Amino acid sequence: MTYTQQQLDAARAFINNSNVTLSIDKDYDTWQDGTSTTKHSVNISVDLAHERIWTGGNSIWSETGAVKGVKCSEMSLNAYKEEHYDVNGVLEQDDDNYWSGGLTGYVHYDGSGKDGTWNDGEEYTLEEKGGLINGRKREGTGDGFIYTDEGFIDNLVAYTVKHCDFNEELLGDFLSYDYSEQGMQEEGCVNMDVELDGDFWLAAAAHAGVEITENYEAVARYNAMTKEQRVQDTFDKGGSILLADGKEVHTMEEYVAATTTDEYVALMQKYTA
């Protein structure tokens, strides 16, 4: 996809802001049948400097309908994409090949109730919550949950616009967040779903001169290797390979000897059928 100069310039201003940190990572695994999986991860962290992000008072989970300036320390927005490669290093097209940000956004806040910040209140025990991870606080002991408060999300965005050079008009299609339908919040932390276009932020990182880690470049080289080259690379780095029959080998000679037996060939044919 092609991005406009305006979009890339706006992204550069945002990620070069002193309150913003962009992190890019790439990890890979090799499987017994010679295929591999590469996981791309993008994280955008925003330092909220313990400033107050105001709620709007319309959370359906707040017993008090509290309108408060919540002291927030950090917002972390994450997304990842998995790519699966066949034994020849060719990318397979499948359902995982997209950027996923479900349940990967977090806002950390002070829920002590001190100095006018949010009051998390007293938490029910696991038995009282019926085993639910995100149960409500004990009624009458705090403000309830920020979760579903629309004003809080709006004011988070407004904070990034004012203090982090976030251009919502140009960047809103590439980064947004809202409450998750599958998770609420834990004490001191609001959970969100994240819409993050990792391909755009990779392009923005290059445009902004953000250094791509050596690991990221190494993975690109690794994905271009043949199966045999990957195996040799593992041994060259002092690693070992656990074969499908449970045997662990440490050299190419051991690998070839173990994987060319009639028994092992028959096992792999059954394994990959």
Q: Could you report the per-residue pLDDT of 138-157, keeping only the tens digit for each?
A: 667 899 889 999 999 999 99
- Where do the H-state alpha helices sit in 1-62? 5-15
**pLDDT number for residue 236:** 81
Domain ranges (residues) in the chain: 5-223, 227-272
- What 3-state DSSP class applies to 50? strand
Say which amino acid occupies 252: M
Please give the structure tokens belonging to residue 223.
């994905």
Beta bridge partners of 47: 74
Is 254's pLDDT higher than 80? Answer: yes
**pLDDT number for residue 177:** 97
- Full-prediction pTM beyond 0.85? no
In the predicted model, what is the mean pLDDT of residues 181-205? 90
- C-alpha separations of 261 from 255, 258, 266, 267, 270 in Å: 11, 6, 9, 10, 14
**pLDDT number for residue 137:** 59
pLDDT tens column, 51-99: 999 999 999 988 889 999 999 999 999 999 998 888 778 888 876 679 9
- What percentage of residues in the chain have a pLDDT greater than 70? 84
**pLDDT number for residue 214:** 45
Q: What H or E segment, with its residue span, contains residue 91?
A: strand 91-92
**pLDDT number for residue 22:** 93
80 contacts 107 by C-beta, under 8 angstroms: no
